Amino acid sequence: MKKIEKVNKSVFFKPLDIAFYAIISILIIVLLCVFLIPKNENTLEKIEIYKGNEVIYTYDYNLLQGNIEKLPSETLIEEYDENNCHYVKIITEESYNLVEIGSNYALMKDANCSHYAPCVNNFSAIKKDGDIIVCMPHQIKIVGVGNKQNSNEVRI
């Protein structure tokens, strides 16, 4: 009987206990949010333009501006804005590539690699991390950089 009375008199949760469990609960929720809420996989962070295996130009979507990283010899890079798009021209004595960078995509707008220009006609626009457009004859490559995909799908 004494024991029952003792239990009845005691407070089930002391204030310190409540604070402790509250902190633990918040920690769990934060951890779950950080690790389990899916990140937006389709956001482009950067567009990289390569000549050969060197990055010569990057466009940063956070800053909304481009930067010439390295100018290969006898190469000219020109930039201009038109119709809400940013254009990058890579010009050498014989070759010409025009890259169009939109708000969430990039594509090869024009090239004189041959009259066929597969990089202009065959490649879909870059819209997510890992998307690539290649101009083989001029060794120009455009690469989308963003969040890495982490799905169960593999495409070939």
Partner 1 sequence: MTVLVLVMAFCLTSCSAKAIAYNNYDYFGSPLEAIVYGSSKNVENWEKETITILENLKAELDPSYIHSDIYNFNNAKDDEKVEISANTFMLINQAKQIYDLTNGAYNPCVYYLVDLWGFSNVERENYYGRTWQGEGKESYLPLPSEDYIKAFTELANFDKVEIAENDGKFYLEKKNTLTTIGDNNYYLKVDLGGLIKGYATDLIFEKANEMGINKGYLSYGTSSIIVATNDKGQSFDLTLTNPRKNDIDTNITFAKIPIKNISVSTSGDYERYYMVDGNRYSHLIDGSTGYPINNNVFSATIFCKNSRIADMLSTALIVMGKDRAIEFLKSDYCVNNDITGLFTYKNEDKIEVYSTANNIEITNSNFELENIK
User: What values do phi and psi take at 37, rounded to 5?
Assistant: -75, 125
CA distance 149 to 151: 6
Quick one: which segment of 5-13, 66-74, 100-108, 148-156 binds partner 1 (CB under 8 A)? Answer: 148-156
Q: Which residues, 6 or more positions from 88, have their beta carbon under 8 angstroms from its beta carbon?
A: 49, 57, 59, 66, 77, 78, 79, 98, 99, 101
- Minimum CB–partner distance for residue 154 and partner 1 (Å): 5
Q: Whose CA is closest to 119, among 131, 136, 102, 103?
A: 136
By beta-carbon proximity to partner 1, the closer residue of 85 and 117 is 117
**Residue 19 binds to partner 1 (criterion: CB under 8 A):** no
**Residue 40 binds to partner 1 (criterion: CB under 8 A):** no
By beta-carbon proximity to partner 1, the closer residue of 68 and 132 is 132
**Residue 71 binds to partner 1 (criterion: CB under 8 A):** no
Burial zone of 96 (CB within 10 Å; 0-12 exposed, 13-18 middle, 19+ buried)? middle
By beta-carbon proximity to partner 1, the closer residue of 20 and 64 is 20
CA distance 88 to 91: 10
Chain residues that interact with partner 1, rule: CB under 8 A: 21, 24, 27-28, 31, 34-35, 48, 50, 52-53, 110, 112, 114-118, 121-122, 124, 130, 132, 136-139, 141, 143, 148-150, 152-156
